[in-house]
Amino acid sequence: MLLREVLGDALRGHRLAQHRTLREVSSSARVSLGYLSEVERGQKEASSELLAAICSALGLRLSELVREISDTLVLDETGALSATRRLPVLEPVAPAVPQVVGAGVGARSAIESSASVPQRVARLRRSSDVVAAA
């Protein structure tokens, strides 16, 4: 995936999200309609001045655009981006439910048994203090 393609996809996505035409944005950015179209299709490399003008026309910070592009490139490089260049659909994960370990009076939850050693030692001291006082 090329940087100019990711950039073009991002710019087009922001423009379409605002329900604006190429003509509106190109006029506002003072860029030719044909050139903006080529940038959006990933066929032309946009200069920093051109990107600043397009971002301004879209009411978008250049830093936000660059961050979005960076995130997309990371996903692509790690293989997390699908072949259609859309973000992956994540499966919902059921929340963890504590399970009872053991049975009877001494039963403990999985959360209790996963307590750190210092937490368990402190709990044992408190329980032995109660027994010694009785």
φ and ψ at residue 98, rounded to 5 degrees: -60, 135
Q: Nearest to residue 8, comparing CAs of 85, 75, 81?
A: 85
Same domain, 69 and 112: no
Give residue-wise pLDDT tens across range 13-34.
Answer: 999 999 999 999 999 999 999 9
Residue 66 and residue 7 in one domain = yes
Is the alpha carbon torsion for 13, 19, 25, 26 positive or negative? positive
Rounded-to-integer distance, Cα 25 and Cα 53, Å: 10
| Cβ atoms within 10 Å, residue 81 | 18
List the domain range (segments joined by +) for residue 128: 100-133
pLDDT at res. 90: 43
| 35 contacts: CB under 8 Å, gap ≥ 6 | 26, 44, 50
Q: Is residue 72 part of a domain?
A: yes
Domain co-membership, 27 together with 65: yes
Question: Is 90 contained in some domain?
Answer: no
pTM for this entry: 0.59
How high is the pLDDT of residue 1? 85
Residue 44, domain member (yes or no): yes
Give the mean pLDDT per block of 10 residues along the chain (134 residues). 94 96 97 97 95 97 95 88 50 45 47 49 55 51
Same domain? For 8 and 73 the reply is yes
